[in-house]
Amino acid sequence: MRVLLVEDDDMIGAAVRQGLTQDGYVVDWARDASEAELALGAQPYEVVLLDLGLPDRSGLEVLADLRRTASDAAVVILTARDAVADRIAGLDTGADDYLVKPFDLDELSARIRAVQRRRKGRAEPLLVHGQLTLNPASHECLWQGAAVSLSAKEFSLLQALMERPGAVLSRAQLEERLYGWGGEVESNAVEVHIYNLRKKLGAETIRTLRGVGYLLGNPS
């Protein structure tokens, strides 16, 4: 899952980026409002973590602009303890949730999963397709009742497909999901991960539409 982190504090930003990357998220880090707006204009994000006290503009203005576009990104505001009025304004401007600094990284991860579920209209934390089950919280994958060990990138790729069953995702869409800014994208990375997923989960689990992209096979 691709996350935009908007935070000017180096220590908080570095800690959040490291923690979420370890959890398998792809994190792009914008240090001010103008970097954030460039990033938001350049590509879709599923989640935006937004500090409100930014050096150039208020995070609230970034949020208001984002909600004026058709973006369906989930937004979690990161604020200081004494900024109650800002948190209320943030929720009223279209934020999905907020966290008060200093916060626990595990709680941040859990909030991200929760806002993602709500955005996708799912209250159920598991993704299920036939005999395949993914748990985004624990990073567990069950196939035909047995646990299967997946790499972080294999898990992200499979999660992208399982979140939109029936949809065809292009290689470019999957690459976007797997790599952040400046990440080296090897030309055949997606194909390699798909190959490995098919070895682990059966050839029929992921279908290729030649020249178009990939989608889940029929549930079995």
133: number of CA atoms within 13 Å, CB side? 13
Residue type, 207: R
Give whichever of 32 and 163 is closer to Ca ion, judged by the CB atom. Answer: 32
Calpha distance 182→138 (Å, rounded): 28
CB-nearer residue toward Ca ion: 31 or 153: 31
* Residue 51: CB minimum distance to Ca ion, A: 4
Query: Please, which residue, 53 or 180, has the CB nearer to Ca ion?
Result: 53
CB of 53 to Ca ion, least distance (A): 4
Minimal distance, residue 78 CB to Ca ion, in Å: 8
Q: Which tokens in the block code for residue 207?
A: 């279908």
CA 93 to chain centre: 21
Alpha helical stretches, state H, the chain: 10-22, 33-42, 59-68, 84-93, 105-119, 152-163, 171-178, 189-201
Among 8, 56, 97, 191, binds Ca ion (CB under 5 A): 8
User: How does strand 146-148 pair with strand 26-30?
Assistant: unpaired
For the chain, the C-alpha Rg in angstroms (whole number) is 18
Alpha-carbon separation of residue 171 from 67, 99, 177, 183, 187 (angstroms): 28, 34, 10, 16, 10
Distance CA 144, CA 182 (A): 37
Build a one-symbol-per-residue string for 46-65: x at contacts with Ca ion by CB under 5 A, - elsewhere: -----x-x------------
Which of positions 181-200 make contact with Ca ion (CB under 5 A)?
A: none
Is 94 a residue that touches Ca ion (CB under 5 A)?
no
Site for Ca ion contains 202 (CB under 5 A): no
- Region of 13-21, 44-52, 99-107, 189-197 interacting with Ca ion (CB under 5 A): 44-52
Question: Which CB sits closer to Ca ion, 79 or 159?
Answer: 79
Name the minimum Å distance from CB 44 to Ca ion.
25
CB of 66 to Ca ion, least distance (A): 18
- Interface with Ca ion (CB under 5 A), residue total 3
Inter-residue contact 178 to 156 (CB < 8 Å): yes
CB of 4 to Ca ion, least distance (A): 15
Q: Interacting stretch for Ca ion, rule CB under 5 A, among 5-13, 106-114, 128-136, 163-171?
A: 5-13
What is the C-alpha to C-alpha distance for residues 156 and 116, in angstroms, rounded to an integer? Answer: 14
What is the contact surface with Ca ion in residues (CB under 5 A)?
A: 8, 51, 53
